[in-house]
Every structure is written in structure tokens, then in C-alpha cells.
Amino acid sequence: MSASGTAATGQVEHMLRQVAPGRYDAYEALLQALADGSAGQVWMLLWHGRAGSPDAQYGNMEVDGLGYAPCVTSAQELSVSGWNRAHEVVSGRDIARALYPERWGIWLNPHAPGGGVGIPWLDLRRIATGLDRMPAGPLRLSEPAVEIPQFYALLTQNAHRTPAVRSLRRAWVHPALGAPYLTIGLDLYDTGPASVDAVRAMMQQSIGAVPEGLPVSTVAMSDEYDPVTMWLRANSRPFYDREAHGAPQAAPGYGYPPAAPRAY
């Protein structure tokens, strides 16, 4: 291994030692070290086969209902762990790309005192796609409490004029690090370039009605891996729904469907 690789591995182990309950800053630094290109390497423990063989299979463990593949952070830790089967050295980014679509995380140094540290698949996705592109978890999600009726009214009008939009939802997102913000969930009929451009223009035309200093983001309702999207699907109703737009409402109120028709 090169000197730079050795230094990066040392950084992963250094940050791993800093992680403790509530230390989200240290955990985020650990993710940064793992995402450090080919230098942020891990030693994946193989339960079957050898590195590069068709039958190679990572080990697995389950913690709190989530699946993890165990690994170690250096050749020295591999020796200390007593692992006597094969292993595979992989960059943190490459293993993140391989595992998160299957909803598997990695568990660093499970043999260590205290049991090591788990990186769940949601954070592997952040490593794979760019840590600066997604909020740091765990996220606190809720219905927005901020009152901005002018923005919602303008956005609804512009959405109705944008044929690609099926519906819109909203959530208040409070990341582990950084300021809370409003997210708009975009449910589109298709995600082709023309539709994406039209929806981007819709948001740009509407964002002027947002009070200064209030951050607004968007998520695609078609993204099956985004935690905000998953929360929106499970816990919210659209505030704009094209297929229900213009339908008579039995009573006003956010988020409730119209009453069933009476039989005569």
C-alpha cells in the first residue's frame, strides 16, 4: 500500500475511535474518510470463496433489523480479529455502491472492544452518491409548521400548468448536522429530460414566494432509496393532486380526502 493509502487508512481508524453516541460530527468525519476515493479502504470479510471468485460472498450480521456486512479497517485489525477465511480489500466508495442498492450496510471492526461501528445502507448511499448532496442523518421528519400559504398557492398554480406533475407533498426536515429546511416531494408522470426541465422551471417560478432565509429542497417521489421520500409516502398526503384537482370537497382541511358520496 502507498504511503498516502496508509495515511488514509489511519484516518479511518482515527475517526472510528472518535465516534460516540451523539457525536454526529465525528460520525460524519468517519464517512468522509471512507469516501476518500480509493484511499479510504476496508477489508471485507468473505464467508465463502476468495476475492474475485464467482462464488465469493461477504459475511452478514443483523442489528436492530438492519443487515450489515462485517469488515475491518486495516491489515493489522484483520490480524487482531482472528479471521481465518478470505478477505477482499475494497474502497469505501466502491463497497458503498455495491451494497446500498440491496439495503445492506457495513459494520467496521465488530471484533473491537465495544463492538465496532455500523454504517447503515442509507449512509452508504450518501458515500456512493456524494456526502454533500444529501442531509446528514438521522433525520427528524415532520409536517411543516411554518405558514407560507402564498408559496403553496403559487406552487400549486404552477404545478397545474406543468403537465409532468402528478402531485406534490411536503415535509420539514431536520438533519443531524445543519439547519432544518422544507422539502417538496415531486411525483411526476415521467422523468425524461423535458419533464425535469419543466419541473425545474416550475420551482424557479415559485421560489420567489418563499420568505427570505427559508431553505427549500426537492425530492423525487420515484426515488425508492431516499429517506425523505420514504417518509412522505408513509406519512403524508399530497397538498396538490392533479387527478383530484377540482373535485368537490365536502369540507375544507389539509390532507383529507373528500367524503364518500351519499346513496339515495
> What is the reported pLDDT for 132?
87
Q: Is the pLDDT of residue 251 over 60?
A: no
Q: What is the pLDDT of residue 5?
A: 44
Least confident of 26-35, 86-95, 162-171, 249-258: 249-258
Percentage, residues of the chain above pLDDT 70 = 88
- The predicted model scores a pTM of 0.79
Name the burial class of residue 96, with classes exposed (0-12), middle (13-18) and buried (19+) by CB atoms within 10 angstroms of its CB: buried
Query: Quick check: 176 and 200 in contact, CB under 8 A?
Result: no
Confidence of residue 36 (pLDDT cuts 50, 70, 90): confident
Q: In 3-state terms, what secondary structure has residue 197?
A: helix
User: How much is the pLDDT for 51?
Assistant: 86
Domain covering 140-241 in this structure, CATH number: 3.30.70
Predicted confidence (pLDDT) at residue 151 exceeds the cutoff of 70 = yes
Averaged pLDDT for residues 163-191:
95
Average pLDDT, the chain: 87
- Boundaries of every domain in the chain: 3-133, 140-241
pLDDT digits 0-9 by tens, 231-243: 999 999 999 999 8
pLDDT at residue number 8: 47
Contact 68, 84 (CB under 8 A): no
Poorest-confidence range of 50-54, 107-111, 190-194? 50-54
